[in-house]
């Protein structure tokens, strides 16, 4: 079927046995699809640079996808497919580092997309803020404004 274009295909078979008896199969309709789906967009938490919450949200855009495989491996090794969802929860790891989420999609014919990935900083460390200004009094002379220093 290599030279047959994608689309509906009708298959029929016939045979003549050694005694000269002929037979023909009923026609069988098949669909030929050799075009892999494409991941048009992938984003963790809508493309944010960082997050501090789990699960994060993975968004995928792939109109022809029927199944998806999501992984924390940037190379999509040994994909395990589940039904396609355009938005799904995803667990990030490790905490305090850049996390990569990769995905492949597959159509109903079994064609697989290329691996696509997005990254996000998964940061659950609270910010440290300190005031370094020595104790001062707020009085009538500085009530409107007074200097404060600090670090974060």
Q: Give the pLDDT of residue 80.
A: 94
pTM over 0.85: no
What does pLDDT average to over the chain?
90
Per-residue model confidence as pLDDT tens digits over 40-68: 999 999 999 999 988 999 999 999 999 99
Q: Encoding tokens for residue 99?
A: 């996390």
Q: Give the pLDDT of residue 145.
A: 76
Beta-sheet pairing, 50-51 with 116-122: parallel
What is the C-alpha separation between 53 and 71, in angstroms, rounded? Answer: 18
Per-residue model confidence as pLDDT tens digits over 81-135: 999 999 999 988 777 788 999 999 999 999 999 999 999 999 888 888 888 777 7
DSSP symbols for 88-125: EEE---STTEEEEEEEEEE-TT--BPPPEEEEEEE--S
Per-residue model confidence as pLDDT tens digits over 62-89: 999 999 999 988 889 899 999 999 999 9
């Amino acid at each position: 079927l290599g030279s047959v274009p994608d689309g509906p295909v009708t298959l029929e078979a016939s045979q003549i046995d050694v005694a000269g008896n002929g037979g023909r199969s009923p026609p069988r309709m098949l669909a030929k699809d050799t075009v892999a789906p494409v991941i048009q967009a992938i984003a963790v938490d809508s493309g944010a640079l960082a997050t501090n919450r789990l699960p994060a949200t993975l968004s995928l855009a792939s109109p022809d996808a029927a199944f998806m495989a999501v992984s924390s491996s940037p190379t999509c090794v040994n994909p395990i497919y589940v039904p396609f969802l355009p938005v799904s929860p995803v667990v990030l790891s490790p905490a305090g580092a850049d996390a990569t989420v990769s995905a492949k999609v597959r159509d109903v014919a079994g064609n697989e997309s290329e691996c696509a990935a997005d990254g996000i900083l998964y940061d659950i460390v609270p910010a440290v803020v300190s005031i370094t200004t020595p104790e001062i009094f707020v009085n009538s002379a500085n009530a409107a404004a007074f200097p404060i220093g600090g670090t974060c």
